[in-house]
């Protein structure tokens, strides 16, 4: 077992700067020669992708609503293997969870993993009031102490002095670990689903360097390392391999700027179930990988890359033929949109897609769905048997138009029009987390194993 330092960067609310702080801290620690493991509380895909840029390691989602406590703890320790420091970025405000409860909140993650909490406060337009805000967070849950505070958006040395004196006057209050200057140039750009993705971040390396310098200038890095307790990084015990393991099943996974929303644990569980994942790009590749026996089309931003996806007609035709061949396909959100007849983007331009499902998706200005989902399979399919349950998350601005008479509901009738099955193709708006039910990974891999390798054209 090796020693690990770990902490959780939380915020008072969304937009307070915790992502910039977490990224800057990860980049700063890596520059010091430390191996850093990133995590994100909640179901978000974009922040983990940015973490991967900063650390050079895949970031994992920690979600106590989607995952059982033991699975979450195992995931954390497994992912931390070989790391010196784990930096967990919170979601929304520290105590915000599922509905009005703290279930799935950053606070619950901190308690489950025994992590010290560092609270990022947007101190813009605040003086002494920052003490009242911090006092409320520090006393709200007596069982969850705040280890320290980072004040963001600090305008001047005078502003810093006021904040420092105000927080120092709190009886037994958490210490002020550092003040982060107001720096508009380090603000991460956003779009309709949140921050810009790692694949599309302009001059990403230079941006991370600026964030590292910004966090280092606060003087907080050494203080943060000092408060992070040493933990035993015990990886979960893996079962011994069978004496005569079967060959791995090759499964193509769409991964590029258009398809970059995937839980890292989903990929690991597929591999653990016997899959050999072969990445390909629907934006660049004109053919599917030779010999694959299944497809996993991840979510992402197909609407932003619709013209390029449409122009790649040779791959669209091959994917349509693959779907029609009754080989297993799992397509979630953006991947599901890609399998439809067309996508109408935010500018009203309609672009042809794969054309397997007789459905069209249209981008709307208003969000169409957001929230956790617990689903049950309505009938046997490549993901599992009838009645198999799983948890996930749904977030999209597109809506489905049309009707495919050959498609049947993927989930139970009470769960709305969020998924369809046609041939052996499962398409859904829900991003399922396989950690909520690992049997789905095993079932999908087994279904792919029964199919002959794709010969291509």
| Non-local CB neighbours of 53 within 8 Å, separated by 6+ positions | 198, 201, 204, 205, 208
Alpha helices in 362-415 (DSSP H): none
From CA 141, how far away is CA 433, in angstroms rounded? 29
**Pairing, β 425-428 against β 329-332:** parallel
- Using alpha carbons only, how large is the chain's radius of gyration in Å? 23
From CA 257, how far away is CA 278, in angstroms rounded? 16
CA dist list (Å): 422 to 184, 282, 327: 49, 21, 11
| Non-local CB neighbours of 357 within 8 Å, separated by 6+ positions | 336, 339, 340, 341, 404, 407, 420, 422, 425, 427
> Which tokens go with 6?
């770990």
> Which tokens go with 200?
């599309």
Length of the chain: 457
Report whether 26 contacts 157 (CB < 8 A).
Answer: no
**Has 333 been annotated as catalytic?**
yes
From CA 32, how far away is CA 17, in angstroms rounded? 23
φ/ψ region of 124 (left if φ > 0, alpha if ψ in -120 to 50, else beta) reads beta
Helix axis angle for 106-113 and 69-79, nearest 10°, is: 70
Report whether 10 contacts 120 (CB < 8 A).
Answer: yes
Report whether 116 contacts 174 (CB < 8 A).
Answer: no
Q: What burial class does residue 446 get, using C-beta atoms within 10 Å of its C-beta: 0-12 exposed, 13-18 middle, 19+ buried?
A: middle
Report whether 252 contacts 323 (CB < 8 A).
Answer: no
> Which tokens go with 60?
């994992």
Report whether 446 contacts 246 (CB < 8 A).
Answer: no
Which of the following is catalytic: 80, 260, 323, 333?
333
Report whether 91 contacts 10 (CB < 8 A).
Answer: no
The residues annotated with a catalytic role in the active site are 333
């Amino acid at each position: 077992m090796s020693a690990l330092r770990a902490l959780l960067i939380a915020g008072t609310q969304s937009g307070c700067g915790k992502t910039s702080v977490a990224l800057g801290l990860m980049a700063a620690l890596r520059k010091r020669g430390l191996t850093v493991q990133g995590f994100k509380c909640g179901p978000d895909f974009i922040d983990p992708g940015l973490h991967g840029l900063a650390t050079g390691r895949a970031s994992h989602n920690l979600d106590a609503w989607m995952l059982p406590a033991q699975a979450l703890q195992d995931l954390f320790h497994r992912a931390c293997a070989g790391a010196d420091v784990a930096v967990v970025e919170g979601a929304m405000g520290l105590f915000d969870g599922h509905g009005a409860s703290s279930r799935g909140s950053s606070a619950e993650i901190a308690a489950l993993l025994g992590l010290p909490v560092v609270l990022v406060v947007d101190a813009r337009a605040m003086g002494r009031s920052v003490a009242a805000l911090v006092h409320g967070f520090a006393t709200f849950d007596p069982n969850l102490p705040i280890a320290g505070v980072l004040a963001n958006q600090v305008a001047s040395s005078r502003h810093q002095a006021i904040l420092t004196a105000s927080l120092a006057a709190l009886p037994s209050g958490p210490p002020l670990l550092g003040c982060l200057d107001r720096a508009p140039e380090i603000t991460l750009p956003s779009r309709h689903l949140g921050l810009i993705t790692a694949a599309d971040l302009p001059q990403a390396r230079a941006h991370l360097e600026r964030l590292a310098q910004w966090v280092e200038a606060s003087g907080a890095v050494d203080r943060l390392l000092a408060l992070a307790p040493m933990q035993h990084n015990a990886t979960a015990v893996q079962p011994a391999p069978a004496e005569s393991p079967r060959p791995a099943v090759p499964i193509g996974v769409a991964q590029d700027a258009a398809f970059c929303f995937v839980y890292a644990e989903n990929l690991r569980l597929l591999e653990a179930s016997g899959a050999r994942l072969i990445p390909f790009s629907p934006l660049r590749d004109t053919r599917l990988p030779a010999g694959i026996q299944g497809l996993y089309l991840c979510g992402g931003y197909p609407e932003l890359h619709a013209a390029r996806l449409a122009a790649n007609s040779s791959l669209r035709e091959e994917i349509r033929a693959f779907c029609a061949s009754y080989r297993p396909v799992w397509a979630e959100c953006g991947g599901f949109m890609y399998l439809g007849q067309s996508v109408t983007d935010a500018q009203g331009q309609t672009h042809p897609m794969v054309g397997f499902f007789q459905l069209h998706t249209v981008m709307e200005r208003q969000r169409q769905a957001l929230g956790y989902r617990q689903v049950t399979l309505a009938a046997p399919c490549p993901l599992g048997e009838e009645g198999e349950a799983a948890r996930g998350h749904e977030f999209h601005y597109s809506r489905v138009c049309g009707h495919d008479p050959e498609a049947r509901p993927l989930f139970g009738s009470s769960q709305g029009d969020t998924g369809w099955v046609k041939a052996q193709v499962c398409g859904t708006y829900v991003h399922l987390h396989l950690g909520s039910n690992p049997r789905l990974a095993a079932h999908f891999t087994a279904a792919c194993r029964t199919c002959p390798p794709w010969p291509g054209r």
